[in-house]
Amino acid sequence: MTATPDLRTTQLASPDLLRSVFRRHAAGVAVITAPGESGPVGFTATSLTSVSAEPPMLSFGVGTGASSWPAISEARHVGVHILGEHQRELAATFARSGADRFGAPTSWCEGPEGVPVLDGVLAWLVCRVVARVPAGDHRIVLAEVVLGDPAGTGRPLLYHQGRFTALRN
C-alpha cells in the first residue's frame, strides 16, 4: 500500500533533492575500467543501464571531475564488471578518491583491447565506446558490447541509502 503524497512538503529541484530521492532507489553496483596512459583506471558506477539488444549496447555516467574521466574520455574500449555481494570492499575501493584501485588486494588481469578485467565478479564485458554525451557535470558513455562472461557465481551487490548492501531473501 502506498501513501498519498503530501504536496505541501515538496522541494524545488536541487542537487540535494536529487541525491535524497536516489538514495531510496536501489541500484546494482558495477565497476568500469579502462586502460590509461599512466596505468589502468576505474570507478564504481550505479548508473549502468542496458540500452539496446540489437546491437547490444549499454550506458553509464561518469563525472567530468572524476580522476578516471581523462582516460575514459579517450578510451576506445572499457570494461564493465557486475559486482557480487561479497565485493563490498572492492566497490568501496573503486569509489574512494585517491585509492590505489588496482593495487593489492584487487585481483585483475589485462584483457582484450588492453582493458583491465577484474577477478571474481558476477559478470564482465568489454565494450567499444561509441559516444560520450554531455549531461550537466557528467558524460553519458554509450558502449557496444564486444565480448564478455556472465558465468560468475553469487548474488548481486546493491547500493541503497548511501551504502553497499545485499538482497534479502
d(Cα 149, Cα 88) in Å, to the nearest integer?
21
Average pLDDT, the chain: 94
- Residues 126 and 77 sit within 8 Å (Cβ to Cβ): yes
According to the model, what pLDDT value does residue 31 have?
98
Look at the block and give the residue holding cell 542537487: 15
According to the model, what pLDDT value does residue 169 have?
74
How confident is the model over 2-59, as pLDDT tens digits?
A: 678 888 888 888 888 988 888 888 999 999 999 999 999 999 999 999 999 999 999 9
pLDDT at 157 over 80: yes
For residue 29, give every residue at least 6 positions away whose Cβ sits within 8 Å of its Cβ, in sequence order, or none.
44, 45, 46, 82, 83, 87, 91, 156, 157, 158, 159, 164
* DSSP 8-state class, residue 54: T
- Residues 72 and 84 sit within 8 Å (Cβ to Cβ): no
